[in-house]
Amino acid sequence: MRFLKYWLPFLAWMAFIFIGSGDVLSANHTSRFIVPFLHWLMPQLSPEALERVHMLIRKLAHVTEYAILAILIWRALFHGTTLDWKPSRFFFAAWIICLFMAGCDEFRQSFVASRGPSVWDVMIDGVGAALGLGIYWLIIKQLRHQSILEDRKSRS
């Protein structure tokens, strides 16, 4: 049951990243629908500006996908294992695993004709993972604080 609840979402998200990092979601393919949409949304932009916005959207996608991945890894490690670590160790482990996976993903892209490896993308992925873990930590902290307050109210 632990596997289904904690490890399967992580593995499914990794499969999504693996599929997307092939030719399917290369810049050539995403530009076919993102650039026309951006042109429709902002017709005053030059073709060069549209390409820059397209690239920014693609880099934000890297941040988002690795933020989600980091949270899923943290959940799987924290709840899906019997490791007796402090929560901060789980956060660090999740971040390191994300960096490793980002590096593997970029290495894989070196074999895809429409893609290429990029150290910058690994760094962007690492920032996304750290951002996701930071947001998740703040949410956990806030929920824990609310739980303590509710517990105090119920006792009084």
* pLDDT, tens only, 51-105: 899 889 989 999 999 999 999 999 999 998 888 988 889 999 999 999 999 999 9
Q: Note down the domain range covering 10.
A: 2-18+62-155
The two structure tokens encoding residue 11: 């593995």
| Crossing angle of helices 8-20 and 47-80, rounded to 10° | 160
> Does residue 122 fall inside a structural domain?
yes
Residue 50 lies in a domain: no
Q: CA 130 to CA 94: how far, in whole Å?
A: 9
Asked whether the predicted pLDDT for residue 29 surpasses 70, the reply is no
Q: Residue 54 falls within a domain, yes or no? A: no
For residues 34 and 70, the answer to whether their CB atoms sit within 8 Å is: no
Q: Residue 49 falls within a domain, yes or no?
A: no
Q: Does residue 113 lie within any of the structural domains?
A: yes
| Total domains, the chain | 1
73 located within any domain:
yes
pTM (two decimals): 0.86
Whether the CB-CB separation of 62 and 128 falls below 8 Å is answered with yes
32 falls within a domain: no
Distance CA 16, CA 20 (A): 6
Q: Report yes or no on 85 lying in a domain.
A: yes
| 120's tokens | 């910058």
pLDDT of residue 148: 77
